[in-house]
Amino acid sequence: MAINLSKVSFAYYVPRKKKNIKYAVKDINLSIGDKDEFITIVGHTGSGKSTLVQMLNALLIPTDGCIDISGKIISKKNENKIKLKEVRKKIGLVFQFPEYQLFEETVLQDVCFGPKNFGITDVTSKAKKALELVGIKEDIYNESPFSLSGGQMRRVAIAGILASEPNILIFDEPTVGLDPLGKKELLELLRKLNKEEHKTIILVTHDMEIVGEYSKRVIVLDNGDVVYDGDKTELFKNEKLVKEHSLDLPNNVKMLKVIKEKLSLDNLDIYKYNTYDAYDELKRVLGGNNE
Amino acid sequence: MNDKIVFGQYYQSDSWLHKLDPRVKIISVFSLMISLFIIKNIYLLLGFMFLVLLVIASTKIPFVKFLNSIKMMTFVLLVTFVLQVIFRRDGELLKSFEFNLTYMNLVIIIVSLFVWFLINKYIKYFKTFVFLVIVLALFILQYYVSYSPLIVKYNINIYSNGLIMASYIVLRIITLLFLSSLLTFSTKPIELNNGLDYLLKPLQKLKVKTSIFTMMVSIALRFIPTLILETEKVLKAQASRGADFKEGKLSARVMQIVSLIVPMFVIAYKRAYDLADAMEARGYIPEGKRTSIYELKYKFLDYFSYVIVFLILAITIFLRVKYAL
Give yes or no for residue A290 having a pLDDT over 60: no
For residues A269 and A157, membership in a common domain is answered with no
Minimum CA–CA partner of B242 in chain A: A117
CB proximity list for B248: less than 8 A, separation 6 or greater: B256
Same domain, residue pair A242 and A256: no
d(CA B319, CA B325) in angstroms, rounded, equals: 6
**Which residues touch B209 (CB under 8 Å, ≥6 apart)?**
B286, B287
Q: What is the pLDDT of residues A207-220, one digit of tens each?
A: 888 888 888 899 99
A234-264: pLDDT as tens digits: 888 888 888 888 888 888 888 888 888 888 8
Task: Identify whether residues A28 and A111 lie together within a single domain.
Answer: yes
Question: What percent of chain B stands above pLDDT 90?
Answer: 26
The answer to whether A253 and A271 are in contact (CB under 8 A) is yes
In DSSP terms, which residues pair with A40 in a beta bridge?
A: A203, A218
Prediction pTM value = 0.73
CA B29 to centroid of chain Cα atoms: 14
A19 and A50 assigned to the same domain = yes
Same domain? A222 vs A277: no
Cα–Cα distance for residue pair A163/A155, rounded to 1 Å = 12
Terminal Cα distance for chain B, rounded: 51
| Res B227 pLDDT > 60 | yes
User: How would residue A288 be classed by pLDDT, with cut points 50, 70 and 90?
Assistant: low
Ramachandran assignment for A177, one of left (phi > 0), alpha (psi -120 to 50 degrees), beta (any other): left
Domain extent for A271: 250-291
Which residues in chain A have their CB less than 8 angstroms from residue B2's CB? 12-13
**Are the beta carbons of B239 and A146 separated by less than 8 Å?**
no
Residues of A in Cβ contact (< 8 Å) with B244: 84-85, 117
**Same-domain status, A286 and A222:** no
Q: What is the ipTM of this complex?
A: 0.86
Same domain, A104 and A217: yes
With an 8 Å Cβ cutoff, the interface of chain B facing chain A consists of 1-4, 230, 233-234, 236-244, 258-259, 261-263, 266-267
> How close, in Å, is residue A262 to chain B by CA atoms?
49
Question: What SS3 class is residue A13?
Answer: coil
pLDDT single digits (tens) B129-141: 788 888 888 888 8
Kindly determine whether residue B242 and residue A164, on different chains, have CB atoms separated by under 8 Å. Answer: yes
Is the pLDDT at B3 greater than 70, yes or no?
Answer: no
Total count of domains within chain A? 2
Task: Supply the mean pLDDT for chain A.
Answer: 87
Of B229, B227, B218, the C-alpha closest to B279 is B218
A122 and A258 in a single domain? The answer is: no
Contact at CB, A161 and B242, closer than 8 angstroms: no
At A78, which CATH number? 3.40.50.300
Residues A146 and A274 in one domain: no
